[in-house]
Every structure is written in C-alpha cells, then in structure tokens.
C-alpha cells in the first residue's frame, strides 16, 4: 500500500475511533477554552487514554500532565493542538516525531491573517505530510464522536449533560455551527455518528472527511455545512462514493455571493455567478442542496427512505387548507410539479363515500380526522403512479392529539416513495413521533417547501462526459488555434477559429483591414470592429447591421473603426469583421467559464443583447454529455420556441444540443487555459438546418496551450 494512502487510512481510524488522544496546550484554568476538552472527554465517558501536555504544570484537575509530547509514554492516535500560532509548527513537528497519524489544530492566526499566515499554514501541512501525518485545521474547534465519548473540542455545546448517538455525520467549515446543529438535532431526537470541524483545510478537506464517513459503518447520511469549496474534485469523488454506498449527502452552503460578476468580461460571466455555478455543481454531483438551515436536519429522514424520486410530481393531502397553502405558496413551480389525483382514484373514493377533489391539494377538511380516512387516502396516493412524492399536512390535532394526527401518516405504506409531513402548530411531541417513525417532519412551511424543492432536484451523481472519437481530434485542433491567441482576451476572429475547430458553424465571414478592402461574401452583411480590447462592441456603437450594398458596407467599416478609436484610442484594432446576415428561429447564448470554486462550467440560455435582462439560463459543470446538454436546453423556458410556437417554425434543437456539448469540451484542454468563452448570439435555424454563431468571445488565463 502506498505510504500516502496508508497515512490517510490511519488518520481516518484516528478520527473516528481513537484509542488515545493528546491535548497539547491543555490549561489548568477552568475558565479558559483550552481547559474544556479535558473536562468534556471525562464528562462524556471517553474510555481511551488522554495525554495532557502543558509546559509549566505537572497536574491538571487531578490528572498527570507532561511538559512535552515526547515525554508522554505510549502512542497517540489523535492530537488536539491549542498552543499560540507561533508555537504550532514545533507542536506539529513533535507530533510527527511521536508518530501521531492525525493532528487537529484549534489555534488561529494563519491563512485568515494574510500571506505570512498562509505561508506558515503551508509549512505546517508540509511538515505533517512529510512525516506521514494528516492535519485538520487550523481554526478547527475539534471533533465529536458521540457513540465513543470522543468530545475532543472546545465547543460549549458539550456542556450538555449527554450526547445522543446517531447515524448522521456532519462536516462543517464553521466551528461554532457544529454546536448549533448538534443541539438542534438532539432537541428533535436526531443523533450523530460524528461532527467534525475542519477549519482552514490546510491539508484534509471536507471531501477527505466526507470520504471517511462514506466508509464508516456507523454513518448513514452525511451533512455538509460549507462556506466555500477549497477542493471541489475531492468532494465530488466523496459524494460519488457515498452515493454508491447508499448514503445521501446534504449541503447547506453559505457565501454563494455575487462576487466576481462585475469583473466578468462575457455575458456568461455576468449570468453565471457563484451561486449558479455552485448549485449546478452540487446537483450534478448528487449532493442534495438546501437553502434553509432548518432543512439541513429535517430532510434527512426523507433521504433515508428512498433514492432520488423518479420525478418531481408532488401530491398534497391535508386536513387544513390554510396549512397546505402556506407550503404550496412557497414551492418553486419550476422545480416542483403539484399534481391532483387521477379520475380513477376520485371515483374509487366516491364509491366509499369519501369526496376528494381533482385539484393539486387534496383537502379532506375535518372529515379527514375520522378514523381510517386520512390513512386510506395516503396509502392510495403512495401506491398510485400519478405522483412521486406525497406531502401530508397535520392541523391542530398534531399539538393536542398527536397520536390521532401522527398515526395515519406514520403508519402509511410508503411503497418506496418519499413521504413528508408538516405540522402547522407548535407540536414537539408530534415531531418526535414522526422522527421515531422515520417520517421527515417540518416545523415551518419554508423548510417544508425547501425540502420538496431539494428532493425534486436530487439525482444520482452524473458520470464523467469525456471527449470521444472525433471530439478528441477537434480538441487538438482547437488547442492549436488557441496557441496563436497568446493570453488575455482574443479578438473575434481568433475566437471564431477556436469555435469552428470544435465543430460549431460560423457562417460566412471575413476580416477587412479598412474601408478600402473588398468583401467577397453575399450581402446584406453585419460589420463589427475587430479588437481584442473591445469585447462588447455594440455598447460603443462599433456594430452596424444590414449593410445591403458595397457602399453601405465600406461606410460601415469606416464608422465602426472610428467609433472604436473614439472610445478607446489605445485599443488594438485589426480592422473590421464582416459577416453575412442570417435568419433563424431563436437566438441562444452558449457560454463557458472556469469558476474559481467549482471549476469549468457551461451555460445555455436565451441570447442576444437582452441576455442579462432575461437571465433565462441553465448552468452545469463542464464537460456535459449530449443527454445532459439536452436537459439543459429543455430547462431554458424561452427555448420552448424551438418546438414551434403558435404555428411558427420549429428550430434545430439537436444542433443546439451539440453546440452546448462542443463548447463544454473546453474543460478537457490540457492546462485548463480558458477563463471564459461565449457565443452570443448563437442563431438556431429551422429544424435540420443547424446553428450558426453570430458573435464570439474568448478569454484565456495563460499563454500556451498543449495540444
């Protein structure tokens, strides 16, 4: 077994089942955070050996302390370092010398403080890895393994008299949040197998710990509390392994901000912000994403009882119309389809004297509280093929008669479908009964609607979509074209050459050096200034459309060049690009961007100069398969025009799908040289006539591309 793999496995064992833990920098002053881990370990019944290290005291709260780790006898599995930042490097070196496989660092003052702190953090990681150890942190508040009494943390939540073991694992970039989630979980009767604060991730990442939990027999589901993604490929790998093991992964993500939109060169960069890229990445990798903190815990039972639903159809059964409306009003109709019962079910219940309507919400009113009615309707819906998920809503009885309200829902035969419950009153006892029955129950309409949306979007991790056959040769040709571009923003002619190499049609076009040059393409034509320094030509009046004669064309060339020089006297101008005017069914935008967190992404949406106004786009990690590209196209509302609208012509959807796939293959270029790429508009012609690029933009990150 390679040394790095062996070290990784030893660290996993040290995290989840340590036989001996060391507290380096343990304090004898009860009021200090650094005194807490010793107390918490004893309070919660840790049965292993505890090594206390304090340079100035030989005894801490009645237990032997050692002046250094080297002085302590025996081996140590997991060391928790709580010394000042300046002393952490020597503490890590001492752990390496001792043969400690896992080191967690509570100390702060590292990457979050600037370049010097980042360099110190990197040295710590290098020392550990060179010595066969792995590091969690810095800025980690520690680890809690309730079933083993491992309370190796400073988090004040451990003042709880007891910890509830369970089968849910948590990986959190926020240290304080492990306390919030643990306390909220225990209040709902939800226990944990492990709670790990990973801090700055100088070595081990969220993906590494999630990967360990995917193998952990004590863990059935994995929760992620993320502020950013520092190693997206590693977390993607972990989520796929968890899915293969039947363990759902749920993420609540902070920091999906709009930072970077204003810095983008392309419309794609402005449309495809951090939030869109992150959401698409989570969806593609089979990670259930929730938008409400409350949902993070409440959705877990829904994920245990089924794989991703077969579809997004949701049936609602209630005894309180108002309670149902509170949830339904918050459901995103683009993600969830509310469905009513089929006529056969309506007729069947009518024969039994039970009236159910055909609407999307089946309101049984107070009649539904009569014994047997609610349960029989739920069983029928869960057995029917008209829906994929059933939401059951309980009214005031959930608070005052919980058995009456809970029993029909908890005892329903789920038939492999997702069954969710929402209790409209404050009904803690009912919620606990639902938890015991394995039915996900929600305290608020917002979290309930959020869970329905999350379930509707949840799917299995999508397989890689690497280039095949002729696509490999196309990528090599595109790489050769990129070599001629240098770095930074390419001019449109250079961008078009790259896109053409990928197989995306460019139509008839040519470059004219000035107004004296002659065009050899058919008129009418569009004229645009050609400059790598002016990516948005229409904004400065450097585009002329519909030039129908040679005289008009020559005048347009002079005008666009003059407009560009007025706007940017120092801009590099190679002349004008002249393109034959085209007709089609709809204008799309197809874009590519290397997101700083999740990596290569591809986008399709409604194009043209109004693209940023409509914001009707679908984003996915790149590359995408043809099947995924087709789902993207179908997800853009405006592109429904491709099917023909009110007698209009249908567009070449298949050609647009191929173009999305082709542009996404930029992700497969060696060295990942492309920062942004965009075709806007990409004109979709009539069915069978293909697509044609009307404009193109390409921004490179580095000089030189490997073919």
* CATH 3.40.50.261 residue spans of the chain: 296-457
Give the separation between CA 655 and CA 689, rounded to whole angstroms.
Answer: 8
pLDDT in tens, 643-687: 998 888 999 999 999 999 999 999 999 999 999 999 999 999 999
Residue 353's pLDDT band (cuts 50, 70, 90)? confident
Residue 257 pLDDT greater than 70, yes or no: no
d(CA 446, CA 151): 33
Cα–Cα dist 558/500, whole Å = 28
Q: Looking at the chain, which residues constitute the CATH 3.30.470.20 domain(s)? A: 464-504+583-707
Asked whether the predicted pLDDT for residue 543 surpasses 70, the reply is yes
Chosen CATH of 464-504+583-707 out of 3.30.470.20, 1.10.40.60, 3.30.70.3040, 3.40.50.2300: 3.30.470.20
DSSP conformation class of 247 = -
The whole-number pLDDT of residue 1 equals 41
Across residues 690-700, what is the average pLDDT? 95
- Decide if 324 contacts 368 (C-beta within 8 A): no
**If you average pLDDT over every residue of the chain, what do you get?**
90
* CATH architecture, domain defined by 3-254: 3-Layer(aba) Sandwich (3.40)
Chain region(s) in the chain for CATH 3.40.50.720? 3-254
Backbone angles phi, psi at 463, to 5 degrees: -70, 160
Q: In which order are the strands placed within the sheet that holds 20-24?
A: 59-60, 63-66, 49-53, 20-24, 78-81, 102-105, 134-136
Q: How confident is the model at residue 369 (pLDDT cuts 50, 70, 90)?
A: low
State the pLDDT confidence band at 395, using cuts at 50, 70 and 90. confident
For the stretch 585-616, pLDDT in tens is 999 999 999 998 899 999 999 987 667 777 78
CA angle (667 as vertex; 661, 669 as ends), nearest 5: 115
Contact indicator for 288, 221 with CB cutoff of 8 Å:
no
Second CATH level (architecture) for the domain 296-457: 3-Layer(aba) Sandwich (3.40)
pTM for the model stands at 0.90
Q: Which residue has the higher pLDDT, 258 or 428?
A: 428
Which fold would CATH assign to domain 508-581?
Dna Ligase; domain 1 (3.30.1490)
């Amino acid at each position: 077994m390679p040394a790095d793999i062996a070290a990784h496995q030893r660290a996993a064992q040290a995290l989840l089942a340590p036989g001996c833990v060391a507290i380096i920098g343990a304090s004898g002053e009860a009021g200090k955070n650094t005194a807490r881990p010793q107390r918490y370990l004893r309070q919660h019944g840790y049965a292993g050996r505890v090594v206390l290290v304090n340079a100035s005291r030989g005894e801490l709260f009645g237990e032997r302390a050692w002046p250094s780790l080297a002085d302590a006898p025996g081996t140590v599995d997991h060391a928790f370092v709580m010394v000042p930042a300046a002393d952490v490097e020597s503490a890590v070196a001492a752990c390496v010398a001792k043969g400690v496989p896992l080191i967690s660092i509570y100390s702060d003052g590292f990457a979050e403080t600037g370049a010097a702190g980042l360099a110190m953090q990197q040295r710590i990681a290098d020392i550990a890895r060179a010595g066969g150890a792995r590091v969690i942190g810095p800025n980690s508040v520690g680890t809690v393994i309730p079933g083993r009494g491992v309370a190796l943390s400073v988090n004040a939540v451990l003042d709880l008299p007891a910890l509830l073991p369970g089968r849910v694992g948590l990986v959190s970039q926020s240290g304080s949040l492990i306390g919030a989630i643990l306390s909220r979980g225990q209040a709902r009767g939800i226990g944990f197998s492990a709670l790990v604060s990973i801090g700055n991730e100088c070595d081990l990442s969220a993906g590494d710990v999630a990967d360990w939990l995917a193998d952990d027999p004590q863990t059935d589901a994995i929760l992620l509390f993320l502020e950013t993604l520092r190693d997206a490929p590693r977390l993607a790998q972990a989520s796929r392994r968890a899915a293969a093991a039947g363990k759902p992964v749920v993420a609540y993500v902070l920091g999906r901000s709009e930072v970077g939109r204003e810095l983008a060169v392309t419309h794609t960069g402005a449309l495809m912000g951090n939030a869109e890229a992150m959401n698409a990445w989570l969806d593609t990798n089979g990670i259930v994403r929730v938008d409400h903190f409350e949902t993070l815990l409440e959705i877990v039972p829904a994920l245990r009882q089924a794989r991703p639903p077969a579809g997004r159809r949701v049936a609602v059964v209630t005894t309180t119309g108002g309670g149902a409306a509170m949830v339904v009003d918050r459901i995103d109709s683009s993600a969830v389809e509310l469905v009513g019962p089929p006529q056969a079910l309506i007729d069947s219940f009518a024969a039994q004297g039970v009236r159910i309507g055909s609407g999307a919400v089946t309101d049984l009113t107070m009649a539904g509280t009569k014994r047997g009615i609610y349960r029989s309707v739920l069983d029928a819906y869960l057995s029917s093929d008209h829906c994929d998920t059933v939401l059951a809503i309980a009214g005031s009885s959930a608070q005052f008669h919980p058995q009456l309200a809970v029993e029909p829902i908890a005892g329903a035969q789920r038939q492999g479908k997702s069954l969710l419950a929402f209790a409209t009153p404050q009904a803690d006892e009912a919620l606990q009964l639902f938890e015991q029955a394995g039915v996900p129950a929600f305290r608020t309409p917002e979290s309930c609607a959020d869970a329905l949306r999350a379930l509707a979007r949840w799917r299995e991790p999508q397989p890689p979509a690497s280039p095949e056959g002729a696509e490999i040769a196309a990528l090599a040709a595109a790489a050769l074209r990129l070599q001629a571009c240098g770095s930074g923003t390419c001019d449109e002619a250079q961008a078009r050459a790259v896109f053409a190499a990928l197989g995306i049609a460019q139509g008839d076009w040519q470059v004219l050096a000035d107004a004296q040059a002659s065009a050899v393409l058919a008129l009418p034509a569009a004229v645009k200034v050609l400059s790598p320094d002016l990516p948005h030509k229409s904004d400065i009046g450097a585009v002329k459309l519909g030039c129908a004669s040679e005289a008009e064309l020559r005048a347009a060339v002079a005008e666009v060049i003059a407009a560009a020089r007025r706007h940017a006297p120092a801009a590099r101008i190679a002349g004008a690009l002249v393109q034959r005017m085209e007709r089609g069914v709809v204008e799309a935008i197809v874009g590519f961007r290397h997101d700083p967190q999740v990596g290569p992404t591809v986008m399709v949406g409604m194009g043209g100069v109004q693209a940023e106004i409509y914001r009707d786009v679908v984003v996915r990690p790149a590359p995408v398969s043809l099947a995924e590209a087709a789902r993207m196209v179908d997800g853009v509302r405006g592109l429904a025009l491709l099917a023909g609208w009110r007698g209009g012509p249908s567009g070449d959807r298949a050609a647009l799908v191929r173009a999305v796939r082709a542009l996404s293959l930029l992700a497969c270029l060696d060295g990942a040289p492309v920062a942004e790429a965009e075709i806007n508009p990409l004109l979709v012609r009539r069915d069978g006539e293909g697509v044609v690029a009307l404009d193109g933009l390409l921004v490179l990150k580095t000089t030189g591309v490997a073919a």
